[in-house]
């Protein structure tokens, strides 16, 4: 008789857990995946995928506005929010089915239940059934954070509810300055909402390159989005179907919806982590793991947003795959968390990989900056007041490209390819030796020959 019921028990049916389950099953492991909500996790069900679908749809409004400059005469058009939501729901259901099918095809079993740790090898399902496992992987992801309690918090929605609103709000207040807040600001504004963004910091997109932060804010404000910084929502009142958001500065804003997008926290509560002896990282509130994604308990691992390392779907997938390779494939693999490309599907879009100028100047004695800010070719005919930003951060001593930052149409698509070069430690000379592809915006990346700034850190006396 086997010592354990299964070789691997995965808690969470999101991207990281599913990848780990499939790869482990392919290695011959007996695997169970427990998911209490819907297969696919945050990204598929209430994150990146529905968000990107909403973003793509919202771009149509701008295309219609820009068409006149290219000779198109478009008559009266209308938009139906309910149709968008219904069609999004159909696509999410299709993807959920695909996730489920792929897990089952691999030979792993899915149980639709919450699972709680009773000890390092035993899990209790909501049905009362107990399962023992040789290895346990926690991949429960994260959830929206509402932050400090404010009066009227019960009237506030998060990104979760934003995907299921019955109507498009005519006026919406969004608290937050990160990628989720800005993405929804662009979405609602492009569909026709009056949008106000409220953020406690001095400028939006904290942690991004300073030039990116300034450029995105200026472009969003050009598009009619009001951005109030150095301020927070302190109270939300409800009057019938309307709301009033009171701000710390003393002013107030009337709205049809108030949304908080002020960060996410790891889903670590009520999993039995304390009972099993799994430690939490005090620095970030996520499950503490080593370079192999192993927790403080030898046979328990954790991947994805629940560890609060880099909260990105491809990172969770890579971590889940590496775990399965290491533990079940006998091929030790550690994930390199350096130089991860990322995008903000705001309007305008942001793509970034590598170091910001500030980070580079803190780490390297000589830093060269190559930067251009230009009107894209489309705007010359459409008449739209918009500009593209492209910036390369270079180690002045070795000539290696340390970072690339792009704001403009298709920024994410361009950055994915540039990330290969940055990961390979390409030099500025390599970029310069690459022939430009004309006419494109991205050709600027290989035609910027003169530094716009050179920084030399003086050695300490």
Residues marked as catalytic:
438
CA–CA distances in Å: residue 139 to residues 16, 301, 343, 425: 6, 9, 23, 32
For residue 405, list its beta bridge partners.
352, 391
Note the maximum CA span of the chain.
76
Cis peptide bond upstream of 348, omega within 30: yes
> Residues 174, 261: contact at Cβ < 8 Å?
yes
Question: d(Cα 390, Cα 62) in Å, to the nearest integer?
Answer: 22
Question: d(Cα 368, Cα 394) in Å, to the nearest integer?
Answer: 5
> Residues 311, 337: contact at Cβ < 8 Å?
no
In sequence order, what DSSP letters do the residues of 345-381 get, joined into one string? Answer: -SSS-EEEEE--HHHHHHH-SEEEEEEEEE--HHHHH
Question: What is the b/e burial string over 126-141, where b = at least 16 CB atoms within 10 angstroms of the residue's CB?
Answer: eeeeebbbbbbbbbbb
> Residues 418, 349: contact at Cβ < 8 Å?
no
Where helices occur in 27-131 by DSSP H, the ranges are: 41-46, 48-67, 81-106
Question: d(Cα 194, Cα 177) in Å, to the nearest integer?
Answer: 17
CA–CA distances in Å: residue 434 to residues 404, 444, 447: 16, 11, 9
Cis peptide bond upstream of 225, omega within 30: no
């Amino acid at each position: 008789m086997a010592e354990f019921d299964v070789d691997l028990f995965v808690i969470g049916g999101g991207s990281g857990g599913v990848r780990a389950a499939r790869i482990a099953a392919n290695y011959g492991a007996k695997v169970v995946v427990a998911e209490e909500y819907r297969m696919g996790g945050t990204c598929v069900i209430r994150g990146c995928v529905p968000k990107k679908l909403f973003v793509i749809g919202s771009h149509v409004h701008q295309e219609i506005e820009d068409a006149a400059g290219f000779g198109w005469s478009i008559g009266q058009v209308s938009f139906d929010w309910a149709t968008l939501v219904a069609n999004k729901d159909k696509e999410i259901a299709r993807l959920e089915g695909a996730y489920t099918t792929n897990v089952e095809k691999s030979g792993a079993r899915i149980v639709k239940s919450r699972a709680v740790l009773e000890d390092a090898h035993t899990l209790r399902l909501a049905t009362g059934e107990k399962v023992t496992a040789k290895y346990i992987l926690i991949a429960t992801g994260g959830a929206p954070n509402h932050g400090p309690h404010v009066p009227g918090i019960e009237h506030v929605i998060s990104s979760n509810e934003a995907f299921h609103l019955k109507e498009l709000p005519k006026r919406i207040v969004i608290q937050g300055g990160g990628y989720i807040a800005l993405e929804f600001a662009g979405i609602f504004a492009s569909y026709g909402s009056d949008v106000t963004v409220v953020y406690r910091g001095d400028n939006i997109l904290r942690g991004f390159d300073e030039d990116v932060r300034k450029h995105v804010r200026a472009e969003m404000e050009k598009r009619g989005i009001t951005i109030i910084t150095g301020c927070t929502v302190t109270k939300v009142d409800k009057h019938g179907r309307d709301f009033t958001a009171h701000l710390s500065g003393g002013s107030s804003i009337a709205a049809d919806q108030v949304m908080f997008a002020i960060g996410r926290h790891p889903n670590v509560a009520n999993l039995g982590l304390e009972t099993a002896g799994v430690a939490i990282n005090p620095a970030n509130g996520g499950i503490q793991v080593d370079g192999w994604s192993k927790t403080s308990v030898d046979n328990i691992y954790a991947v994805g947003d629940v560890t609060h390392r880099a909260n990105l779907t491809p990172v969770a997938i890579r971590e889940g795959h590496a775990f399965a390779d290491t533990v079940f494939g006998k091929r030790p693999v550690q994930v390199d968390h350096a130089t991860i490309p990322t995008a903000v599907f705001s309007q305008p879009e942001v793509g970034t990989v590598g170091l910001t100028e500030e980070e580079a100047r803190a780490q390297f004695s000589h830093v060269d900056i190559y930067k251009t800010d230009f009107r894209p070719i489309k705007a010359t005919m459409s008449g739209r007041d918009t500009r593209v930003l492209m910036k390369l951060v270079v180690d002045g001593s070795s000539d290696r490209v340390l970072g690339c930052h792009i704001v403009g149409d298709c920024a994410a698509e361009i950055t994915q390819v540039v990330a290969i070069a940055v990961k390979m430690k390409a030099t500025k000379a390599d970029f310069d030796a690459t022939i430009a592809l004309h006419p494109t915006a991205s050709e600027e990346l290989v035609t910027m020959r003169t530094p716009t700034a050179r920084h030399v850190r003086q050695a300490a006396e």
